[in-house]
Structure 1
Amino acid sequence: MADANLIKLAVDSYKGHIAGNYSTEDSMEVLRKALIEANGGSTTLDFRAIRDGKCNGLFSIVEQIINKTVIEGLPESCPLFNYVEWRNLKEGDSNIFELRDNGVFVVSDIAQGTQGLRRQRLTGGEEITVKTQLKGVKIYEELRRVLAGRVDFNDLIDKVSESFQKKMRNDMYDAVVSAFAGLAAPYSNGTAGSFDEGKLTTIIDHVEAATGKKAVVIGSKQAVRKITGVKGADANTAKEELFSMGYYGHFYTTPIIVMENAHKVGSTDFILGNDLYIVTGDDKFIKGVIEGDTLIIDGKAIDNADLSQEYLMAEAWGLKAVISEQMGIYKLS
């Protein structure tokens, strides 16, 4: 187990919160020396030393730092993470989510002096599980350069962070698109067309009537830009929002939240189309599971023709969007 003070120093440095007499440069040098020490005193990655098990302490340090700075920081990278219910589980633990029963009791008219009503009870919500899958990125080049003093350790974290965040965001978008595709009238306009203020208003009203909660409109930049200006809105305020953000911040009293789009794997097609998703502000309708610990899996250099050493940074997670409270979708062409 790596020294807790060393891990804290590295995490604080990455987040820009250096305590005591350390500067960011000082903390990077302390960390680099600790990595070199864990690497048997060498500033290079030697496949022979790894083969003989002499570098385990090195990867233990890197694993713990990456876990704290990258994985724990993922919810801060995208507004949609606010709608995720997270579970951090040990490998093999049950990841059952129990959905709330959102039904209500029927209140009936009764005559004086009678109790002749049909009894009702809450039956409880559905239970679901979220399948997890191991994901990984290779980080050999950056780690080698950190040891040699040619690159800041924060650059390594940034590389891994960007890779993991993009993949997790894409998985989340796929889950949302799949879940909302099955919605029907009156919570969907059915067929994509040009923007119609009345149709969007109707779907929002239905969602709020069904849930008793304030709705929010979320979508890609391409989608929310199709929302035209609200009638009667202050022209200067609306113009300022349009020029500063590229879209209107509200549709009447309903907030609009933008999701940064992403490409489908292996193509230049966007995952998010022109659909607008109408959700309630406090419903965590995306279920997310991070299973086990972050780990580094080292390859075998002798298996590669150039004797290069490969390292896989891996994390198991799963994401699933579940519409347990009523939501809506407005499809745009």
Structure 2
Amino acid sequence: MVETKDLQKLARDLYFNPKMEFDGVSGEDAMRNAINDALGGQYTIYSWQKHKQDVFQIIATAIDAVVPTLLTNQFDNLADIRNVATGDTPLFKVNDPRGIRVGRVAAGDQDLRRQTITGRSFQIQTEWFGAAVYAEFEQYVAGDIDWSTLVDRCANAFTIQIESMIADAMTASYDDLDASYKVSGAATLDAISTLANRVKLKASAPVAVYGTASALAKVAAMENVSLYSGDMKNEMNTKGYLGMVRGLKLIEIPQAMKVNSDEFAIDDNKVLVLPDNEKIIGVVLEGDTQVIEGDNTARNDLQMSMKVLQKIGVGVLQMKVYGMAELAAK
């Protein structure tokens, strides 16, 4: 049976490069061979009943190798993604953003109000999320199940779920922001610049504006297009937005789609203003993905079903210093 580290590498590499080779064979064949070895080289109902737990473990290991990579690629600038063992609750530490106040002291008087220099820690609770899939038994016997595609689709499903949870958490956090750190209605470039300066001074760090390509394009359009240089126009045509507007660095958050929907997961009408290297979202993936057999007791047909389960938690670290601005919908 393939080693766990080799299987993890195979799953990651195969997801991003379906035409890859692994140990002299195609990546798809390598995954199929791993399943075949787990089944003792036989595609029969008896081999499935005897070895299905080994197959489930391979699928779970492959999914666990892919999902964190997909999330990191999408939200590395925004989210602190933690993989922890079952039962562990990681602490997300946030420095207290308040400055230390200096006051006048009368001669001989040392009575000063103390201020803590420690930050706060947050915990994010996880919940079970799951998906159920199946294949026809005839496909299994004929060796026609594309196991790598099964892994990729399950990994995508959980990634989309987490993306939606992150997007929902960011949207909900807008209402909790202090009025000084959000721009409501149709923001102007002046208002965004003022917000960015406030966040910069509060955090004592450079800041950038984050949003989808569509959102950043709206920010760029606020500047006088007639003042664009030739390079700026070329950049706008190439990327769809500018990397820098009025001294503000613009960084894209890749858009995502809600599952089985034409609706975007991330709001194209909001932008975030964040200090450099500040991650305002905490994501917890607790324990290994669990793949178990589905309930076939109520079925008369020959189908192989399985449930894929994962414990996930997402939360906004509210004490972080950041701002948000609403943009005019177009």
Which TM-score band applies after superposition, normalised by the shorter structure? 0.7 to 0.9
1:290 lines up with 2:282 in the alignment: no
The change in CA–CA distance for 1:12 and 1:216 in structure 2 (over 3 A counts) is closer
**TM (normalized to structure 1)?**
0.82
Distance 1:13 1:213 in 2: 36
Per-residue Cα deviation, 1:219-266 (whole angstroms, up to 9, x for no partner): 233322212264596521211111111112222222112223345567
Distance 2:240 2:157 in 1: 27
Partner of 1:33: 33
Partner of 1:120: 114
Distance 1:275 1:21 in 2: 43
Unaligned runs of 5+ residues in structure 2 are none
Question: Is 2:97–2:202's contact at 8 Å kept on the other side of the alignment?
Answer: no
1:110 Cα offset (Å): 5.4
Question: Is 1:286–1:322's contact at 8 Å kept on the other side of the alignment?
Answer: yes
SS at match of 1:207: helix
1:59 to 56, 61, 70: 56
What pairs up with 1:154-233 in 2 under 5 angstroms?
154-190=148-184, 192-193=185-186, 195-227=187-219, 228=221, 230=223
2:317 to 311, 319, 322: 322
Q: Partner letter of residue 291 of structure 1? A: E
Distance 1:259 1:223 in 2: 10
Identity of aligned residues (%): 22
Partner of 2:239: 245
Q: Partner letter of residue 253 of structure 1? A: G
The change in CA–CA distance for 1:11 and 1:142 in structure 2 (over 3 A counts) is farther
Higher strand proportion, which one? 2
Q: Partner letter of residue 94 of structure 1? A: T
Distance 2:73 2:146 in 1: 22
Distance 1:119 1:91 in 2: 43
Distance 1:9 1:165 in 2: 18
1:152 Cα offset (Å): 5.5
SS at match of 2:131: strand
Partner of 2:127: 133
SS at match of 1:82: coil
Q: Structure 1 stretch 139-148 or stretch 210-219: which is displaced more?
A: 139-148
SS at match of 2:76: helix
1:259 to 226, 237, 253: 253
Per-residue Cα deviation, 1:28-49 (whole angstroms, up to 9, x for no partner): 44543342232243235x3x65
Distance 1:6 1:118 in 2: 60
Q: Partner letter of residue 108 of structure 1? A: G
Partner of 1:75: 71
Question: Is 1:200–1:330's contact at 8 Å kept on the other side of the alignment?
Answer: yes
The change in CA–CA distance for 1:142 and 1:221 in structure 2 (over 3 A counts) is farther
SS at match of 2:179: coil
1:300 Cα offset (Å): 3.0
Distance 1:5 1:322 in 2: 33
Partner of 1:23: 24
Distance 2:10 2:258 in 1: 34
Distance 1:9 1:147 in 2: 27
Per-residue Cα deviation, 1:179-206 (whole angstroms, up to 9, x for no partner): 123223322223x12x522111111111
Partner of 1:303: 298
**TM (normalized to structure 2)?**
0.83
1:92 to 78, 87, 91: 87
Distance 1:287 1:230 in 2: 34
The alignment covers a number of residue pairs equal to 324
Unaligned runs of 5+ residues in structure 1 are none
Coordinate RMSD, CA, aligned: 3.4
Question: Is 2:129–2:309's contact at 8 Å kept on the other side of the alignment?
Answer: yes
SS at match of 2:36: helix
Q: Structure 1 stretch 255-264 or stretch 84-93: which is displaced more?
A: 255-264
SS at match of 1:141: strand
1:107 to 102, 107, 112: 102
